[in-house]
Amino acid sequence: MNHKENNKQVWEIISSIKTGMLNTLTMEDKIHSRPMQVVQDEYEGTLWFFTGNPSEKNMEISNDSDVCVTFSGNDQYLALYGKAQLTKDQNKIDELWNPMVSAWFPEGKESQRCALIKVEIIHGEMWDSNINPFKFVYELGKAKIKNQRPELGEHHQY
């Protein structure tokens, strides 16, 4: 699969789910996960999330910018690994602002608290196990008989 096809498949999964789990490392090197809503309308290798500033996640990102964002739904799974950074780029905030975000920032998009997390994706993995129940049982039985792993869907790395 080429880069453009990967991005298209990644966006199909993200746009159907919308909320991913942003995973950062705490100052004690423990994984900290929290749900975050994607606010963009397309995917070209970067994810965008609104965030209040200051926040614990922003401190974690400034301490270690390596993050993982996971999406799960409709028998599809996606893990994206990348570098995160906090930005207060007002042009980008204006571009991505929507009525849903305003609920988190009632003082408006010019608020000093309003910021974005930009995640530049370095690599990722996708799994699609959307197979009907009969095929699922068949694949499990076949794998057991042949003493091999069942083929329960697609897996791609990029």
**Separation of alpha carbons 139 and 141, rounded Å:** 5
Q: Is the pLDDT of residue 40 over 70?
A: yes
| CA separation, residue 125 to residues 9, 10, 69, 118 (Å) | 11, 9, 11, 19
Determine the residue type at 132.
N
Q: Is the pLDDT of residue 90 over 70?
A: yes
Q: Is the pLDDT of residue 133 over 70?
A: no
Q: By the 8 A CB rule, do 21 and 35 touch?
A: yes
What is the rounded (10 degree) CA torsion for 106, 109, 115, 118? 120
Each residue of 46-89: pLDDT tens digit? Answer: 999 999 999 999 999 999 999 999 999 988 999 999 999 999 99
**Average pLDDT score over the chain:** 90
Mean pLDDT on 102-126: 96
Question: 10-36 burial, b for 16+ CB within 10 Å, e for fewer?
Answer: bbebbeebeebebbbbeeeeeeeeeeb
